[in-house]
């Protein structure tokens, strides 16, 4: 069993979620329709939800057929989250960019699961060196498609934090 530090897991979770998205892309590119996604069942919930968040952020309807197949094998709570993403992607072409941003921000609250333990980082701003707790549910850290750790404490943070 591999034991991750809270920070290590947040990084690992993001990489695995991105890997699932890449696998979805590969399936779609090669026109392979899997019979099920049993492999995704019973996995870490935070990782699964982050995968869904990344698929949502793509704003790309191409994932819907695979999401429908995935939904069949999942437990209720994940099923509901998958259905939400399917509906959101279906409705996205009738939404303005501003409306879409609001929706994605709202979904981030449920799909980006907070670490159980605090993640401590050190501010890299000159002469600050303050230790601060990373708010790992901040969507801004995931906005580029992969997790970018903040390198500044809240006093020096440049991200637009809602
Ligand atoms: Zn600082």
> Going by C-beta distance under 8 Å and a sequence separation of 6 or more, which residues neighbour residue 15?
146
Distance of CA 120 from the midpoint of ligand 1 (Å) = 13
Distance of CA 100 from the midpoint of ligand 1 (Å) = 32
The confidence score (pLDDT) of residue 126 equals 87
Distance of CA 57 from the midpoint of ligand 1 (Å) = 30
Task: Give per-residue pLDDT as tens, 48-104.
Answer: 999 999 999 999 999 999 999 999 999 999 999 999 999 999 999 999 999 999 999
Distance of CA 102 from the midpoint of ligand 1 (Å) = 29
pTM value surpassing 0.75: yes
Distance of CA 126 from the midpoint of ligand 1 (Å) = 8
Distance of CA 76 from the midpoint of ligand 1 (Å) = 42
Distance of CA 152 from the midpoint of ligand 1 (Å) = 5
Distance of CA 135 from the midpoint of ligand 1 (Å) = 15
Distance of CA 50 from the midpoint of ligand 1 (Å) = 28
Q: What is the mean pLDDT of residues 15-38?
A: 94
The b/e string for 35-65 (b: 16+ C-beta within 10 A; e otherwise) is eebeebeeeeebbbbbbbbbbbbebeeebee
């Amino acid at each position: 069993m591999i034991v991750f530090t809270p920070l290590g897991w947040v990084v690992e979770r993001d990489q695995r979620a991105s890997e699932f998205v890449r696998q979805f892309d590969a399936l779609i590119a090669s026109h392979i329709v899997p019979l099920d996604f049993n492999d995704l069942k019973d996995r870490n919930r935070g990782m699964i939800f982050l995968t869904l968040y990344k698929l949502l952020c793509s704003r790309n309807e191409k994932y819907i057929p695979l999401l429908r197949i995935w939904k069949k094998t999942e437990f209720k709570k994940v099923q509901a989250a998958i259905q939400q993403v399917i509906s959101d992607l279906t409705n996205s072409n009738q939404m303005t960019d501003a409306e879409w941003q609001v929706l994605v921000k709202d979904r981030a609250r449920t799909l980006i699961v907070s670490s159980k333990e605090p993640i401590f980082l050190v501010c890299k701003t000159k002469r600050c060196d303050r230790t601060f707790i990373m708010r790992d549910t901040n969507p801004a850290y995931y906005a580029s498609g992969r997790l970018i750790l903040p390198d500044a404490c809240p006093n020096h943070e440049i991200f637009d934090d809602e």
